[in-house]
Structure 1
Amino acid sequence: MTSLLATLALAAAAAAVEPAAPPVDDPQAHRFTWAAVPTATFNTDEGFGTGGVISLYHHHEGVLPYRDELRFNVFVSSKLVQSHAVTWDALRPFGVPGRSYVRVGYFSTLTQNYCGTGNQVTCDRADARAAADARGLVDDPALADDDFDTFTRRYHLMRFIRPHATVLFRPWLRDKPWRMELLFGWRGSYTVPGELGERGPYPGSRYAADFPVGEEGLSSVPMVGFIIDNRDNEIYPRHGVYAEASVRGGHAWTGSTWPHAGVNATGAIFATLPGTPLVLASRVVADVIVGQPSVEELARIGGTLDPIAFGGAFLGRGVREHRYLGKVKLLSQTELRAQLFDTTVLGQDLSFGAALFSDGGLVGYDIADWRGDPLHPLVTFGASWRILWNRTFALRWDLAASPDEAEGPGFYIIVGQVF
Structure 2
Amino acid sequence: MTPGEPVKPLKPRKLLPRRITLRGRLTLIYSGMFLAAGVVLLGVTYVLFSQQLSPQGPKVFSGRSPATPPATVLPPADGAVRIGSDPGKWMKAQEDKLRDAATTSLITQGGIALAVVGSVAAGFGWLIAGRVLAPLHRVTDTARRIAAAPVADRGLHERISLRGPDDEVKDLANAFDTMVERLDRSFDGQRRFVANASHELRTPLTLGRALVEMAMHRRTASQDVKRLGEDLLQINARHEQLINGLLLLATSENEVIERRPVDLADVVAHVVTQTAPEAQQAGVTLHEEAHEAVTAGDALLLERLVQNLVENGIRHNSGHGGWVRVASRTRDDGRIEIDVANTGPVVPAYEIPALFEPFRRLGNERLVTAKGAGLGLSIVRSIVRAHGGDATARPHEGGGLVVMVTLPPDSTPPHPEAWTAPPQGPTLRM
Q: Taking structure 1 as the reference length, what is the TM-score of the superposition? A: 0.22
Structure number with bigger Rg: 2
Question: Which has the larger share of strand?
Answer: 1
Question: Which has the larger share of helix?
Answer: 2
